[in-house]
A = this chain, B = another copy of it.
Amino acid sequence: MAASGRTPGRRPGAARTRETILDAARRCFAEDGYAGTSIRRIARDADVDHALVLHFFGTKDALFGVVLRSVPLLSGLVREVGEGGPDGLGERFVRGYLGLWEDPDAGPWLRVVVRAASASPNAAAALTSLIADEVMAVLARRIGGDDAELRANLIGAQLLGVATARYVLRTEPLASAAHEDVVAHLAPLVQHLVTGEAAAP
């Protein structure tokens, strides 16, 4: 791998090399999961030296964090869904979110992310920081009102739980329930958190 055929001292632009490594990392994490992927494996896949991956990204955890941020699944959804204002946001969000999990490209990647966050505290830190910045902060601004950040957090947490049960753990009957039945049950709950009517306990 060190003998990659390149002339010493001349290599493609750093930006291009970095992008090649990122592509390889995305592929390796998606195919073999977080635990099954090493810096060495990513270097082999990208056809670069192991030390070059370390030079650009430092650690596997740091690289995972950069990969996470380069896949703009949830932030894109939040922006798109939020454009219509708070009315019906619950249904639009639930429908778009379940759609992402059921998408043949996005679904497997989301499963990798959830499994990685559970298996490694560092991956969990990378994921929660991403969710806080790109999902919850945006959602909280759309929601507005008292406790907006807490309510945005609760929406995220509940939908993460539903996706984990339905798509990762495959709990029945939730795993086999029709998309529209799940939307019908969840949309009013998310909408309730959006409008912020917290009933007195």
Show the binding face of A for B, using Cβ within 8 Å. Answer: 35, 91, 95, 114-115, 117-119, 124, 127-128, 131-132, 136, 147, 149-151, 153-154, 156-162, 164-166, 168-174, 177, 180-189, 192-193, 197-201
Interchain CA distance A147-B132 in the complex, whole Å: 34
Give the distance in Å from the alpha carbon of A198 to the alpha carbon of B185 in the complex. Answer: 5
User: Within the complex, what minimum Cβ distance (angstroms) separates A108 from chain B?
Assistant: 15
CA distance A169 to B117 in the complex (A): 8
Given A119-B118, A161-B159, A192-B189: A201 touches B174 (CB 8 Å cut-off): no
Q: Within 8 Å CB of A161, what residues of B?
A: 157-162, 164
**Cβ–Cβ < 8 Å partners of A124 in chain B:** 168-169
Alpha-carbon separation in the docked complex, A170 to B132 (Å)? 11
Q: Which chain B residue shows the least CB distance to A119?
A: B119
Q: How far is the CB of A14 from chain B (nearest CB, A)?
A: 33
Contacts of A128 in B (CB 8 A): 169-171
Within 8 Å by CB of A164, from B35, B157, B187, lies B157
Pairwise interchain contact B171-A198, C-beta atoms closer than 8 A: no
> With the chains together, A74 CA to B183 CA distance in Å?
27
Nearest opposing residue in chain B for A88, CB measure: B201
Alpha-carbon distance between A184 and B35 when the two chains are bound, in angstroms? 38
Q: Is the CB of A162 within 8 A of B173?
A: no
* Contact A184–B198 (Cβ < 8 Å): yes
Contact (Cβ within 8 A) B150 A181? yes
Whether B174 lies near A187 (C-beta < 8 A) is no
B184 touches A188 (CB 8 A): no
Q: Are B174 and A154 in contact (CB under 8 A)?
A: yes
Enumerate chain B residues within 8 angstroms of A181, measured Cβ to Cβ.
147, 150, 198
Contact indicator B198/A188 (Cβ below 8 Å): yes
Nearest-neighbour CB distance to chain B for A60, whole angstroms, equals 16
Whether the Cβ atoms of A153 and B171 lie closer than 8 Å is yes
